[in-house]
Structure 1
Amino acid sequence: MKLERLIAMIYKLLNHEVLSASVLAEQFQVSQRTIYRDIDVLCAAGLPIVSYQGSSGGYGIIDGYKMDKSLLGAYDIDSLITVLTSLSTVFQDERAQSTIERLQTIAPEHHNSNLAINFDTYRTEPHALLYLRQGITDTKVVHFDYINANNEHTHRKIEPLWLHFKYSTWYVHGFCQNKQDYREFRLSRMMNVQLTTEDFHPHPSTPQNILQTEPEWEKQLKEIVIRVAPQSLAEALDQFQQADKTFQSDGSMIMRIPIYKPLEAKWLWSILLSFGSGAEVLEPAELRVILKQQLEQALHLYKEV
């Protein structure tokens, strides 16, 4: 777990003069390239790390900072404990629990947490997260059946690289042996997840920006405009928190929402149709046509009623 490794690395640097990237890589069982990225993250977070050159060089923390060891305050410790507790519950991670116990020893007494995080797993198949996490840690191939956005059923074999929690959903990124390329899979669409004993070696061309939003996405955002009736305001706000909102004199709300390819976004259609008569799409006109067609097809299923 990256967060656990970063925390452990902080304490190692605080308690040692200089540690080389090779030593850190061996201790944490990762590549030196990973250590370099971790050091960059710690520097960006404000940790005063110094790089020493030469045969006995490596990384250290400036002496003045090491003396008081005041890196983590009460707020930092509380936040780290909360996040690690959530993750250790999801992944049943004993190492994370060990880190939590160490943090608790330096936490202020009688300090009550005011933060809670729920990494929900109800959308995923039982044990899927655990198998994928183990596959990432042990570099083992994972098999599963998958339903893609076009409702096509395939069987996939992937070399899992990392897990990502976004938009209230878990995703796994990895090298798909079927497609011979990197792919992202949504766990809620995965079935019959199996951890195999087949080893894999990470590819040297692993893309480092796979988690980043593609620049061309912004160019394909199109604003949709909907009128939300008073009885559907709460539901609409839950679904579209980032919308530009304007209340009307009748209690309704006009919402302007930038959406990536809205005329192809079936997930968007489902949300809008779920409002029933509680929301009307005003723009674009093409989206109104699509929703009308969807409603007509649904009504056809119940023509005998």
Structure 2
Amino acid sequence: MERLIGIMCVLADAQRTTIGALAERFEVSTRTIARDLDALGRAGVPLVTFPGAGGGVGVVEGFKVRRDLLSTHDAAALYAALDGLRSIDGDQAVTQLIARLVPGADVGPQVAAGGPLVLDLSSWFDDAVVQEKLAMLLDAVRERRCARIEYVARSGRSVRVVEPARLVYKQSSWYLHAFCREREAFRLFKLKRIAALDVLEETCQAREAPPLALSAPDAPLLLPPDADAPGTFLAEFDYDAADEFVLAETIDARFLERGADEAVGVARFRTDDEAWVRRLAGFLGDLAHLREP
């Protein structure tokens, strides 16, 4: 987000520039800048390309970034996103960015106090181990320093040297997207599975990271029990009502039903992946017992 805003400001202030100059200024590849420009174009920034020698890219003459084009709803959403970013480590640069883009005096108290969205990516615990890893790896990404991690994977525990590229938040967990020297490829490492972490003095050159595929093509389909979905089957788990609160951490409460006997319940949903249901049953252990299939 910070780079996109920076590029937009450069284009608004300069008559024209080149993709190479932007790549050098923001220390990324020309392919990344090309994707950024495509994103800005789709967002409505009026880009203009200049072919031939001395050409480049610019914006329509007279274009300026106007804060008053943001509605109260737009400003509230932008504030929520930036404030969520700030919650990671209280970065002063993000605070200054909020002050420039979403000044409270211009958008009213709804943004600061009563916006419809609040994003807080920090931990519930002051001494959270994951938060400590996050802060260390964030510095490593910014300073392009290598890291040595001891990682617990499905295949076992191993020590690897990685080149951190970026931090990723998906659903409820933090991940490190890094180049693994052992595998000679980019990998996604879950922070909770990093048993030991050492940020090294060794620096690394920026690599062209592949696009992140955060939606698994083979992810299990999960639907309400009354959904009309060909190729799916009904899965049912019996559970004790006393365990419902803990069970809801794993299975959405939408799928937890109570019958005439308030002491017991049944978790019911439709899915297309029987192997995943059986793995879920093993994970839940004594919390729930697989009735069907």
TM-score, structure 2 as length reference: 0.75
1:46 Cα offset (Å): 3.7
Q: Quote the offset at 1:250 in angstroms.
A: 5.8
Matching of residue 155 in structure 1 with residue 159 in structure 2: yes
Residue 96 of structure 2 aligns to a residue whose secondary structure is helix
**Equivalent AA in structure 1 for residue 19 of structure 2:** A
Higher mean C-alpha deviation, range 67-76 or range 9-18 = 67-76
SS at match of 1:215: coil
Provide closer, same or farther for how the CA distance between residues 148 and 97 of structure 1 changes in structure 2, counting only shifts above 3 A.
Answer: same
Q: Which moved further from structure 2: 85-94 or 236-245?
A: 236-245
Distance 1:75 1:54, change over 3 A: farther
Aligned position for 1:116? 118
Q: 1:256 aligns with which of 269, 272, 283?
A: 269
- Gaps in structure 1 of 5+ consecutive residues: 285-305
Computed over aligned residues only, the root mean square deviation of the Cα atoms, in angstroms, reads: 3.5
- Aligned residue for 1:290? none
- Counterpart residue identity of residue 214, structure 2: Q
In structure 2, give the amino acid aligned to 1:7. Answer: I
Distance 1:6 1:197, change over 3 A: same
- Give matches, 1:1-305, under 5 Å: 3-63=1-61, 66=64, 70-105=68-103, 108-113=106-111, 114=115, 115-121=117-123, 124-125=129-130, 127-150=132-155, 152-203=156-207, 206-208=209-211, 210-217=212-219, 224-227=235-238, 235-241=246-252, 252-258=265-271, 261-262=275-276, 265=279, 269-270=282-283, 272-273=284-285, 275=287, 279-284=288-293
Identity %: 24
- Quote the Cα distance in structure 2 between the aligned partners of 1:57 and 1:238: 56
Counterpart residue number, 2:225: none
Corresponding residue of 2:228:
none
Residues 233 and 253, structure 1, Cα contact 8 Å, conserved in 2: no
> 2:37, 2:240 → 1: CA distance?
51
Q: 3-state DSSP class of the match of 1:60? A: strand
Partner of 1:89, secondary structure, is helix
Deviations, residues 48-89 of structure 1 (Å, cap 9, x unaligned): 333332334333334576486655333223322232223223
Counterpart amino acid of residue 285 in structure 2: L
Q: Distance in 2 between matches of 1:90 and 1:143?
A: 22
Q: C-alpha distance in 2, partners of 1:74/1:19?
A: 33
Post-superposition offset of 1:168: 0.7
SS in 1 for 2:34: helix
TM-score, scaled to structure 1: 0.73
Flag the 1:51–1:231 CA change in 2: closer, same or farther, 3 A.
farther
Distance change (3 Å), C-alpha of 1:26 and 1:207: closer
**Between 70-79 and 181-190, the greater mean CA deviation after superposition:** 70-79
**Larger mean Cα displacement after TM superposition, 228-237 or 52-61:** 228-237
Instruction: Structure 2 unaligned segments of length 5 or more: list them.
Output: 222-230
Q: Indicate if the aligned counterparts of 1:230 and 1:253 stay in contact, CA closer than 8 A.
A: no
Q: Would the alpha carbon gap of residues 124 and 283 (structure 1) be closer, same or farther in structure 2, given more than 3 Å must change? A: farther
